[in-house]
Structure formats: C-alpha cells, structure tokens
Amino acid sequence: MDRPAIRDAALLILRSVIGVVFVAHGYQKFFLLGITEVTGQFSALGIPQPKLSAVLSASGELLGGALLIVGLLTTFVAGALALLMLAALYFVHMGNGFFLEDTGLEYPLVLIASLIVVIVFGSGRASIDGVLSRAEL
C-alpha cells in the first residue's frame, strides 16, 4: 500500500474532508450564526478577546479550510488549524466528557490527529503545493 499514487489519493481525500469541515464551520460562524452571536458564545466560555477571537477563528477556519482543499501552504495551514483546535479543546471541550453530544473531546481530537497526518506527510502530489514543488524554475 506504500505506492505514491495511493498515498497521494489518501492525502487528497483527507485534506478535502478536513477542509470542507473547516470551511463549513467558518461559514457557520460568519453567515449562519453571525460574528455577534459567536462573540457572545466566546465571551460566555471565557475565551480571551472574544470578538477578535471570533473573527480570527471564523477567518482561519474559512480560509484555512479552503487552502487545505486546494493544497496550498498545506503544512503551515494544517499547523495553524491544529493550534486553533488545541485552543478550542482547552476553552470549549475540556471537562465536558468525551463524546461529541456532550461537547466533549472526541471531535477536536479527531481533527487534530488528522491535521497531524497532513503536517507529517504533506499535501501530496494532487495539490497546488505538489504542482509548485515539481515546477521547473
């Protein structure tokens, strides 16, 4: 199973799924809930600088997810999103049990683990990063 084409296809699928999840959450924060509502939620959770945190979180999820999907700046973006999820783990999910329905650790842990795979193995050849790394200068 250690064939480059299979590894690249698996990385493409993983990047795309993670990217769609982040884009959906960023979209939700900006357009469905609204930044004002998210700011209120962040404030109630004790997140520092709730308005700035809400805007940065929504922007990071929306833009970072899109960059993961196309595979541009992939390892940097995956690292930044992993840090964002660590912050979410600490401020939102810690102490709520394990399962998702209890706002537990399950969801952010899966995302962090998936992002670590992308950080370690990169974007693969089926990405803008992959195309740019093969381009002749």
Confidence (pLDDT) at 136: 58
CB 42 within 8 A of CB 54: yes
Confidence (pLDDT) at 96: 81
Q: Is residue 67 included in any domain, yes or no?
A: yes
Burial of 44: CB neighbours in 10 Å, binned 0-12, 13-18, 19+? exposed
Q: Is residue 133 included in any domain, yes or no?
A: no
Q: Is residue 114 included in any domain, yes or no?
A: yes
Domain that holds residue 78: 4-125
121 Cβ contact partners less than 8 Å away, ≥ 6 residues apart: 7, 11
- How many domains would you assign to the chain? 1
Q: Is residue 75 included in any domain, yes or no?
A: yes
Q: How far apart are CA 50 and CA 39, in angstroms?
A: 5
Q: Which of 25, 28, 16, 21 is nearest to 111 (CA)?
A: 21
Burial of 19: CB neighbours in 10 Å, binned 0-12, 13-18, 19+? buried
Confidence (pLDDT) at 97: 83
Q: Is residue 68 included in any domain, yes or no?
A: yes
Q: Is residue 130 included in any domain, yes or no?
A: no
Q: Is residue 131 included in any domain, yes or no?
A: no
Confidence (pLDDT) at 99: 84
Residues in the chain predicted with pLDDT less than 70, given as ranges, are 1, 136-137
